[in-house]
Copies of this chain bind each other. A is one copy, B any other.
Amino acid sequence: MALFVHKYGGTSMGSIERIKNVAKRVAKWHDAGYQIVVVPSAMSGETNRLLGMANEIMPRPDPRELDMLASTGEQVSVALLSIALHALGKDAVSYAGWQVAIKTDSAYTKARIQSIDDAKVRRDLDAGKIVIITGFQGVDDEGNIATLGRGGSDTSAVAVAVAMKAQECLIYTDVDGVYTTDPRVVTEARRLKTVTFEEMLEMASLGSKVLQIRSVEFAGNYRMPTRVLSSLTDPMIPLEEEAASGTLISFEEDTNMEQAAITGIAFNRDEAKITVLGVPDKPGIAYQILGPVADANVEVDMIIQNQSVDGKTDFTFTVPRGEFAKSMDVLNKTAKENLNAVSINGDAKVSKVSVVGVGMRSHVGIASKMFRTLSEEGINILMISTSEIKISVLIDEKYMELAVRALHKAFDLEKA
Contacts and interface: CB of A to CB of B under 8 A. Distances in A.
B143 A57 contact: no
A65 B79 contact: yes
B86 A62 contact: yes
Interface stretch (A67-75, A153-161, A202-210): A67-75
B96 A83 contact: no
A82 interface: yes
Interface string A127-158: 00000000000000001110000000000000
A84 interface: yes
Contacts of A64: 93
Contact of A65 (B20, B57, B83, B98): B83
Contacts of A56: 16
B96 A57 contact: no
A94 interface: yes
Q: Is the interface of A mostly helix, strand, loop or mixed?
A: helix
Contacts of A50: 76
Number of copies: 2
A54 interface: yes
A17 B404 CA distance: 50
B80 A58 contact: no
A61 interface: yes
Interface residues of A, number: 36
Contacts of A375: none
A79 B68 contact: yes
A360 interface: no
A229 interface: no
A53 B71 CA distance: 18
A19 interface: yes
B54 A68 contact: no
A382 interface: no
Contact of A83 (B20, B61, B145): B61
Given A76-B72, A96-B68, A87 B57 contact: yes
Contacts of A94: 65, 68
Interface of A: 16, 19-20, 50, 53-54, 56-58, 61-62, 64-66, 68-69, 71-72, 75-76, 78-80, 82-84, 86-87, 93-94, 96, 98-99, 143-145
Given A16-B56, A50-B76, 7 more contacts: A54-B80, A54-B83, A58-B86, A65-B79, A65-B83, A68-B75, A75-B75
24 contacts: A16-B57, A50-B76, A54-B79, A54-B80, A57-B80, A58-B84, A58-B87, A61-B83, A62-B82, A62-B83, A65-B83, A65-B86, A65-B94, A66-B83, A68-B79, A68-B82, A68-B94, A69-B75, A69-B76, A69-B80, A72-B76, A96-B145, A99-B143, A99-B144
Counting from the closest, the 4 A-B pairs by CB-CB distance are A69-B79, A72-B72, A58-B87, A68-B79
